[in-house]
Structure 1
Amino acid sequence: MTLLTHDRYCDEIAQQVDRFRALVTSGADLSATVPTCPEWTLERLVRHMGGALRWAATLVRTRAQEMLPREQVPLGEGPRAEGDAAALDAWLAETGEMIVGALREAGPEAKVWSWTGVVPSGFWARRMTHEITVHRADAALTVGAPYDVAPDVAADALDEWLEIAQFVQRSGARPWAAELRGPGRSIHLHATDAAAELNAEWLIELGEDGLSWRRGHEKATVALRGPLTSVLLAFYNRLPLDAPGLEVVGEREVLEFWRKHATFG
């Protein structure tokens, strides 16, 4: 596995913020329910995403060595007025400048607190890239807008999600991760449209000793095939498994099991 460059992550965050802002200012109903996060309205999703970016920016800018309570982040909850798309847009624009500026100034190696321990600041460049990549999909699905993501970013988002699942299983940080242990189940993800050099195939094994994964084409209990963006969103539980272009081969219930238990919540 090869990470993207730090500058690439920073560029991608800046682009994703701009594309997120375009959805906010498209005339969409900010009170609409987000279908993939039904406990949230579109406005709540925007405030969550912007708040996460501001929190990460503050961690990196201050070189925090311990957890920073989110309530200590200035304007971390967003503008005071609710239902004001222009105010949300301005807040997101400032937020994007904050996170990208903090990450570029720090570079990839500054030591910063994270929920995995003290890590290089590049961790937050990658984490925030994929946080906004997936949440922009939530927003696009809410307003009925088209969605796309660069293939190398989508592939890296799948790598990172699997690494997170491994971490929380080892650390016991999330109860759901323990449920992923079991006898001899495996998942093959196969992007049918990605360039060969991306090697956009994954084998995920859910064994008694825990979750393991690797890139490559191998037989599995179940396979999910389709365009890379669709595979990413279905694996993240953002698209149904029978969405156009997707194909499930084998024991579908294993994929459903993953989608039920593997969650950031």
Structure 2
Amino acid sequence: MLGRGRRPSGDADATTLDLGVPGGTLDGYPAEPYKEGKRTPYRGLLRHAAGGRRHLCGDVREALLAWSAESTEQLLGALRESGPERGCWTWWGASESPQTCGAVAQQQLQEVALHTYDAQITVGSPQPLPGEAALDGVDEFLSTCCAGAYRWPHEPAAVDYHAAEGRSWRLSLSADGARITRLPMPGTGEATDGADASARGTAGELVLALYGRIPVDSLKLDGDRRLFELLQAWDPDE
């Protein structure tokens, strides 16, 4: 589970963009200019661009940027109009995260932060994730991708995640399900039982490890490290 996240099922090749690109070719498609309004399978476009064939990228880049900006504005407008408490479909129905517009906004923020980091890695200049977004990201990942009515197929366990910024979370795992608990802030005097394993790092490092961008063992690990291997192999939907 850790290092992968979950995504909705479906045929990604069916997703298309109305690019309106005046010319160029894509691998696996006829070597002819694209006409105005030509609809191109999104995955094919990304395969082409990712393959380093840049003769198309100038026009395509502008078309993708314009499409992304317009789509983002449409999403923001819909979220503002609906309000954070309004219910809506999500792909994480069985998790602890609510199926609301507010949760969708939270999840989309994490998508932007993470894939901005991916783009920075691509050009060789990765930057730390923004602090507040990273703190929110640990909570969002654990609540959305781990916690819920999912049977843990191993011995019951508790795994703690500690952010250097002062916040901590506990993931409790058992055959009855997985749940997330926000632990007391240091210095509050509230005691907590010991965990079977724990991971420490900045909030940004925790998010990157949870999504598999950096190795889990790049964090400071204590306790039974085998639990992190079991979490990486665990698919809650199975």
Q: TM-score range by the shorter chain?
A: 0.5 to 0.7
CA positional deviation for 1:145: 2.4
CA contact (8 A) 1:78 1:91 kept: no
* Matched residue, 2:160: 188
* Matched residue, 2:220: 247
TM-score normalised over the length of structure 2: 0.62
* Matched residue, 2:89: 113
Structure 1: stretches of 5+ with no match in the other structure: 1-35, 38-47, 52-74, 171-176
CA positional deviation for 1:112: 2.8
Structure 2: stretches of 5+ with no match in the other structure: 5-11, 16-38, 50-56, 185-191
* Matched residue, 1:93: 69
Give the Cα separation in 1 of the matches to 2:83 and 2:227: 40
CA positional deviation for 1:239: 0.9
Identity of paired residues, percent?
Answer: 29
The reply to whether residue 152 of structure 1 matches residue 132 of structure 2 is yes
CA positional deviation for 1:78: 5.1
| DSSP 3-state at the match of 1:163 | helix
Runs of 4+ in 1 over 4 A off after TM superposition: 75-82, 262-265
Structure 1 range deviating more: 113-122 or 219-228: 113-122
Match of residue 182, structure 2, among 215, 226, 232: 215
Deviations 1:40-89 (A, max 9, x none): xxxxxxxx8xx7xxxxxxxxxxxxxxxxxxxxxxx896599653223222
* Matched residue, 2:211: 236
CA contact (8 A) 2:160 2:170 kept: yes
CA 150–98 in structure 1, closer or farther in 2 if over 3 Å, else same: same
| DSSP 3-state at the match of 2:170 | strand
* Matched residue, 2:113: 133
* Matched residue, 1:161: 141
Name the structure where helix makes up a greater proportion of residues.
1
CA contact (8 A) 2:146 2:236 kept: no
CA 215–111 in structure 1, closer or farther in 2 if over 3 Å, else same: closer
Structure index of larger Rg = 2
**Root-mean-square deviation (CA), in Å?**
3.4
Give the Cα separation in 2 of the matches to 1:263 and 1:136: 27
| DSSP 3-state at the match of 1:223 | strand
